[in-house]
């Protein structure tokens, strides 16, 4: 369970480009530091598929075959660094540049993550006990400790849903899905609540550059 929560802690960037001819398109992925794993998220599978290491250039059609032409989600991951995920809903012709700048996972950062996970697990136990008031307090502590933890917003959405507060539940689940677009559980809960999936996310994520060549 803890590993699933840690998987949610990623900086997510939504890259949108024109709907052009995908047959000629290619993606060039680089990272600082280099030699990071490039992982393609496969719909319906908990673990993604490593398709190479940075720097990496792949044709869009080759990548799309692996996902049955579903939305492409690529995670750049290297040990002792915080991973980054790039969601690419539409790819055009030409070349798309993705440059990941991975930040070291410091000892302080690791402590923050561990503490936030502890608060989320505490909230989960309180939900089971139907102690929703204190569960929300635990979630607020988790968010204050590590603001970009998708699991915290997911459980916040669950609590509001159990309290029949659909508006707040949808808002929390949309935030959770923006932080981790690959989590099918969050997407399912959001749909059941009548919400729609967000297509973009704010923040200071690095930019990807694409266009015709």
Per-domain residue ranges of the chain: 11-103+204-211, 107-192
The SS3 of residue 99 is strand
Is the pLDDT at 138 greater than 90? The verdict is: yes
pLDDT band at residue 93 using 50, 70 and 90 as cut-offs: low
pLDDT: which is higher, 139 or 177: 139
Could you give the dihedral angle defined by the CA atoms of residues 16, 175, 5 and 83, in that order, rounded to the nearest 10 degrees?
30
Choose from 22-31, 68-77, 169-178 the range with maximum mean pLDDT.
169-178
Residues ≥6 apart with Cβ < 8 Å to 115: 145, 146
Region 26-41 average pLDDT: 90
Q: What confidence score (pLDDT) does residue 207 get?
A: 35
Q: Look at 31-40, 95-104, 132-141, 165-174 and tell me which has the smallest mean pLDDT.
A: 95-104
pTM exceeding 0.75: no
CATH class in words for 107-192 = mainly alpha
Asked whether 164 and 132 are in contact (CB, 8 A), the reply is no
Q: What confidence score (pLDDT) does residue 10 get?
A: 38
pLDDT: which is higher, 52 or 73: 52
CA gap 108, 91 in Å, rounded? 38
pLDDT band at residue 92 using 50, 70 and 90 as cut-offs: low
**Cβ atoms within 10 Å of 26's Cβ, excluding its own:** 17
- Residues 11-103+204-211, CATH architecture: Sandwich (2.60)
pLDDT band at residue 46 using 50, 70 and 90 as cut-offs: low
Q: What confidence score (pLDDT) does residue 185 get?
A: 81
Is the pLDDT at 213 greater than 80? The verdict is: no
CA dihedral for 79, 82, 87, 91, sign (positive or negative): negative
Is the pLDDT at 33 greater than 80? The verdict is: yes
Q: Look at 124-133, 137-146, 156-165, 182-191 and tell me which has the smallest mean pLDDT.
A: 182-191
């Amino acid at each position: 369970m803890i590993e699933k929560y840690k998987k949610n802690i990623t900086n997510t960037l939504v890259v949108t480009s024109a709907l052009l001819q995908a047959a000629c398109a290619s993606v060039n992925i680089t990272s600082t530091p280099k030699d990071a794993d490039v992982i393609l998220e496969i719909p319906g599978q908990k673990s993604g598929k490593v398709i190479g290491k940075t720097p990496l250039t792949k044709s869009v059609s080759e990548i799309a075959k692996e996902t049955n032409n579903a939305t492409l989600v690529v995670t750049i991951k290297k040990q002792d660094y915080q991973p980054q995920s790039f969601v690419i809903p539409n790819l055009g012709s030409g070349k798309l540049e993705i440059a990941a700048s991975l930040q070291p996972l410091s000892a302080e950062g690791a402590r923050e993550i561990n503490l936030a996970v502890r608060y989320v697990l505490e909230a989960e136990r309180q939900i089971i006990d139907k102690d929703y008031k204190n569960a929300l307090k635990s979630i607020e502590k988790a968010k204050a400790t590590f603001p970009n933890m998708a699991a915290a917003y997911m459980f916040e959405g669950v609590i509001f849903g159990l309290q029949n507060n659909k508006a707040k539940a949808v808002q929390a689940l949309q935030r959770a899905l923006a932080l981790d677009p690959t989590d099918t559980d969050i997407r399912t809960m959001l749909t059941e609540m009548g919400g729609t999936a967000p297509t973009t996310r704010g923040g200071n994520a690095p930019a990807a550059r694409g266009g015709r060549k």
